[in-house]
Amino acid sequence: MSHIQEEIKSIQERLPEHVRLVAVSKFHPIEALEEAYAAGQRVFGESKVQEMTTKYEALPKDIEWHFIGHLQTNKIKYMAPYVALIHGVDSFKLLKEINKQAIKAERTIPCLLQIHIAQEESKFGFSFDECRQMLEEGCWKELTHISIAGLMGMATNTDDENIIQQEFHSLGAFFQEIKDSYFSNQPAFKEISMGMSDDYPIAIAEGSTLVRIGSKIFGQRNY
Ligand SMILES: *Cc1c(COP(=O)(O)O)cnc(C)c1O
């Protein structure tokens, strides 16, 4: 077995039943994804729309493609026909644009709201308050072709496991708050996307349902 296949198998074996592995294959060639596919992997995460679309076209159609990168409104149309889940939605404007492209593609696109939980400065992600405000306003309920499937977050890049654990904990608690307030009768709101190669065991302990693991499976990326 190749390194890729061994890693996939060993991660899959240790995941609790309610947690799914998103194999983050960004910047890796088609052959690497084929190896993962041969090991049974069917969910892949990519961060560039064009790269994801090229891979989608080249690979078997039973793969679920998750977009985990930062979204540009003008690129959404290219993935709207096939993307299975968009992880990083951080504005109402993006939700609206995804909805528009989903209507054209005649499907409903599941989305996760990205929440900024790390201490690090970042332009990306709603603050807790911004997210509450957007949901409270209610206009998202009129978007007929998106489905808000949960939340996504990234912890601070640090060796301090206490900080990571607190940040994941805060996302888990916020998920529960939002579920109770806005989605209590909607079983589709169920995902907490958190945890990467270096911190996914902590994320699972804090309630993650989707771990996004790249370098541990595919090795270092050449950006
Ligand atoms: C690249 C990336 C990952 C995977 O990170 P690794 O440390 O390689 O596991 C996960 N989530 C997001 C949003 C990413 O951009």
From 43, 47, 71, 212, mutation site for ligand 1 pocket: most ligand atoms within 8 A of C-beta: 212
Q: Which residues line ligand 1 (CB under 6 A)?
A: 24, 26, 47, 68, 196-197, 212-216
In the numeric block, which tokens belong to residue 80?
A: 């709207």
Residue nearest to atom 14 of ligand 1 (CA): 68
In 3D space, the residue among 183, 191, 188, 186 whose CA is nearest the CA of residue 209 turns out to be 191
* Ligand 1: nearest atom to the Cα of 197: 9
Q: Which parts of the chain have pLDDT scores under 70?
A: 222-223
Q: How far is the CA of 111 from the centre of ligand 1 (A)?
A: 18
Dist. CA 181–CA 89, nearest whole Å? 19
Instruction: Give domain 3-218's CATH superfamily.
Output: Alanine racemase (3.20.20.10)
Q: What is the predicted pLDDT for the residue at 223?
A: 57
User: What is the reported pTM?
Assistant: 0.96
Q: What is the predicted pLDDT for the residue at 221?
A: 72
Q: What is the predicted pLDDT for the residue at 120?
A: 85
Dist. CA 191–CA 179, nearest whole Å? 11
Domain boundaries, the chain: 3-218
Q: How far is the CA of 130 from the centre of ligand 1 (A)?
A: 24
Q: How far is the CA of 141 from the centre of ligand 1 (A)?
A: 30
Q: What is the predicted pLDDT for the residue at 220?
A: 85
Dist. CA 168–CA 157, nearest whole Å? 13
